[in-house]
Amino acid sequence: DGGITQSPKYLFRKEGQNVTLSCEQNLNHDAMYWYRQDPGQGLRLIYYSQIVNDFQKGDIAEGYSVSREKKESFPLTVTSAQKNPTAFYLCASSAGAATCTFGSGTRLTVV
């Protein structure tokens, strides 16, 4: 089955620690996205990539970093510079200007 896989489902981060969220797709989509969702806030765009080896900042990129070395993969690193990282993180992909396919999300909690 084609789809988009996020891992892990739950992640706990200690203060000052960097953590990396995985996102893999086998849909052959060129574009991939990372969104953050807080309660009552909807989805906010962190980073997006329209092609391999290229990515752009979204609305809330501070404290996050990404890479796009392979078409299938778009990992997100939450750095220690992100002061309030507790949230639900959603990865998505699309074939250009089309509908997005979402992963099932990673819930990150600071402990």
**Interacting residues with other proteins (CB under 8 A):** 6, 31, 33, 35, 40-45, 48, 50, 58-59, 88, 90, 92, 94, 96-105, 107
CB of 81 within 8 A of CB of 62? yes
Q: Which DSSP symbol is given to 111?
A: -
Dist CA 25 CA 29 (whole Å): 8
Instruction: Output the smallest distance, CB 15 to other proteins, in A.
Output: 25
* 58: β partners: none
In the complex with other proteins, the residue whose CB is nearer, 82 or 106, is 106
Instruction: Output the smallest distance, CB 80 to other proteins, in A.
Output: 26
Instruction: Output the smallest distance, CB 8 to other proteins, in A.
Output: 14
CB of 37 within 8 A of CB of 87? yes
CB of 106 within 8 A of CB of 52? no
In the complex with other proteins, the residue whose CB is nearer, 13 or 107, is 107
In the complex with other proteins, the residue whose CB is nearer, 59 or 62, is 59
